[in-house]
Structure 1
Amino acid sequence: MDIKQLKYFYTIAEEGQITGAAKKLHIAQPPLSYQLKSLEDELGVKLVERGSRNIKLTDAGHLLYKRAKQILSLTKSAEDELRDFVQGTQGTLSIGTVSSSGASLLDNRLSTFHDKYPFINFEIHEGNTFELLELLTNGVIEIAIVRTPFNNFGLNSILLQKEPMVAAMSRDLCWTDKNTIEIVELKDKPLIFYRRFENLISKACENYNFQPTVYCKNDDARTSLLWANSGLGVAIVPKSAIKLIGSSDIIVKEIISKELSTQIAIIWPKTGYLSTAGKNFLNLFLDT
């Protein structure tokens, strides 16, 4: 007994006659009658009582009709699910993010993606850039969302718009009423920043003939902001990262400098597997 035979039998039962079933299935009547007889012989039971025009299901026929309906329904569901999976409309997408990219991920792009692909689930891995690059290389995640600078060897990337770095501080450490500051104003200030930005910040300060006073280096933009909010120093973070700590009394000053800027990058390996769901996710950023 196979799916084809079940479909033939189910259609016969639904139509109540072999002639009508043959028309619906677009096959000739004799082959359909033969398939029904073969199914009865294989199962060793009589499935229908044949009349001059119509057929009537036996008790065994009613049982098989019920099961055939369930099986055919499950078969269709499986076909639909596999089709959806191939088309990237169903499944689980594993991506990695650095903490400072979270605000950019959780914007209208993700809402748009969810509206279009409501049956795609996410598995999120958070870590620093080096950890995410390793997960990407090992195939644990398909896509990573990181910040420049990073080693892009062997990677495809989509770079989002550049954004400035900002100085975030408590009211006690605030030295100006202006909304923007020059790099030179950071001289002798206790700075807190994500370790990966150390070279970027140091070079920018050196261009203004001073060495930054480093109070704390860490691996998470949220840590920088929380320490700054506690009055321990001045955090240097990407502008969008401010959203990570939600409501606070922290004061933010944009740093006027082309050198102190960063970009979010969506990266994936040049070689290796990328699911259709992953490709659909990347399309969110291609027109940015």
Structure 2
Amino acid sequence: MTYKQLEYFLAIAETSNMTAAAKKLNISQPPLSYQLKLLEKELQVQLFSREGHALHITNEGRIFQDKAQQILSLTNQSISLMQNMNNETVGTLTIATVPSVCGCVLPQSIQTFQQAYPEVHYKIYECNSFRAMELLDNGLVDLAFVRAPFKQERYHAAPVKNPFLKEHQQDFFVAIGASKFFTDTASSAITLEQLTGKPLIVHRRYKKILDQLCAEKNISLKIVCENDYIGSSFYLIDAEIGVAVMPYTSAMLYDNKKSLLLKKIEQPSIDSQVYVITKRNSALPTAAKKFIKQLQE
């Protein structure tokens, strides 16, 4: 298996057409077809099914596509790292981040950093914390922004300041939804007990936290939807499906707050600090070190 074969495979997967892939790669079609056959023979799987001129990626192909993207990304990143190890003014800074950071902290941080180091470029992967840690563990990003809880002992971790929070204030959880769901409470805060019976929309990684708190209080919540991406919660509360439970800084990214009510969850309050993390025992490019230092200033 060669770098070129992976590159050819990804081009075919992207275009679903051999002719279009050959044009994209600026090569003729016969060698492209030949390299695909060699790759399938080596892997002993069919990567594409063929219907006329159209190619449809198989389940095996999709799995291999993800791995091929990781391999090429890591290879390119390694080359860039070696070429620019001692030069903080050039290169690419790769970042994985949760949406709440991408929506407020990251743009301002990059703008400031860009003024000092205009030749640095950026690759941003917006995802949940689990995926961000996976990308970091696999060496595909230089640093990651994730939310607690996570195994902090595995990483170098530093808390991240958020403009929506006051000095030294921890991020907290809120319930956000249409006013019809909050007719029983006029307070700006709501307890876990007061959420019982309400249809709740919960990010999957926070469900375990809620389950544990409910077990301690011997109550149960009515969760009508679990999801993996906080953005989908906004669409669901727009449709008045239920009340979304999320960190305050995530809720502040929602641009239609006027028609909704937002209440801080108390008794107990739930904190969810954002951290910037890097791998332990791993060399960082100078640009990454300086970017993290800027975040802490």
Q: Unaligned 5+ residue runs, structure 2?
A: 1-81, 161-168
Q: Deviations over 1:257-288 (max 9, x none)?
A: 4541101011110122311110011112334x
Contact kept? 1:204, 1:260, Cα under 8 Å: no
Contact kept? 2:85, 2:285, Cα under 8 Å: no
Against the structure 1 CA distance between its residues 226 and 155, is the aligned structure 2 distance closer, same or farther, given a 3 Å change threshold? same
Offset, 1:84: 8.6
Q: Deviations over 1:135-167 (max 9, x none)?
A: 111211010101011123431101235211010
Where does residue 254 of structure 1 map in the other structure? 264
Where does residue 290 of structure 2 map in the other structure? 280
Contact kept? 1:191, 1:213, Cα under 8 Å: yes
Where does residue 122 of structure 2 map in the other structure? 122
Q: Deviations over 1:57-93 (max 9, x none)?
A: xxxxxxxxxxxxxxxxxxxxxxxxx999734122210
Contact kept? 2:84, 2:285, Cα under 8 Å: no
| 1:73-84 equivalence runs, <5 A | none
Offset, 1:107: 5.9
Q: Whose Rg is larger?
A: 1
CA distance in 2, matches of 1:126, 1:108: 16
Where does residue 269 of structure 1 map in the other structure? 279
Which residue of 219, 223, 233 maps to 2:228? 219
CA distance in 1, matches of 2:260, 2:119: 39
CA distance in 2, matches of 1:279, 1:258: 37
Which residue of 166, 173, 196 maps to 2:181? 173
Against the structure 1 CA distance between its residues 250 and 277, is the aligned structure 2 distance closer, same or farther, given a 3 Å change threshold? same
Where does residue 158 of structure 1 map in the other structure? 158
| Secondary structure of 1:262 counterpart | coil
Against the structure 1 CA distance between its residues 92 and 152, is the aligned structure 2 distance closer, same or farther, given a 3 Å change threshold? same
Q: Percent identity?
A: 29
Contact kept? 1:101, 1:147, Cα under 8 Å: no
The one-letter code of the counterpart of 1:190 is P
Where does residue 103 of structure 1 map in the other structure? 103
Offset, 1:109: 3.2
Runs of 4+ in 1 over 4 A off after TM superposition: 82-85
| 1:129-148 equivalence runs, <5 A | 129-148=129-148
What is the RMSD computed on CA atoms of the aligned residues? 2.3
| Secondary structure of 2:152 counterpart | coil
CA distance in 2, matches of 1:174, 1:268: 41
CA distance in 1, matches of 2:91, 2:108: 21
Of stretches 230-239 and 124-133 in structure 1, the one that deviates more from structure 2 is 124-133
| Secondary structure of 1:223 counterpart | helix
| Secondary structure of 2:173 counterpart | strand
| Secondary structure of 1:261 counterpart | coil
CA distance in 1, matches of 2:267, 2:273: 14
CA distance in 2, matches of 1:124, 1:83: 21
TM-score, structure 2 as length reference: 0.63
Against the structure 1 CA distance between its residues 96 and 246, is the aligned structure 2 distance closer, same or farther, given a 3 Å change threshold? same
The one-letter code of the counterpart of 1:196 is R
Contact kept? 1:222, 1:244, Cα under 8 Å: no
| Secondary structure of 1:207 counterpart | helix
CA distance in 2, matches of 1:104, 1:144: 15
CA distance in 2, matches of 1:115, 1:255: 40
TM-score, structure 1 as length reference: 0.65
Against the structure 1 CA distance between its residues 114 and 257, is the aligned structure 2 distance closer, same or farther, given a 3 Å change threshold? farther
Where does residue 206 of structure 1 map in the other structure? 215
Contact kept? 1:103, 1:243, Cα under 8 Å: no
Q: Deviations over 1:18-71 (max 9, x none)?
A: xxxxxxxxxxxxxxxxxxxxxxxxxxxxxxxxxxxxxxxxxxxxxxxxxxxxxx
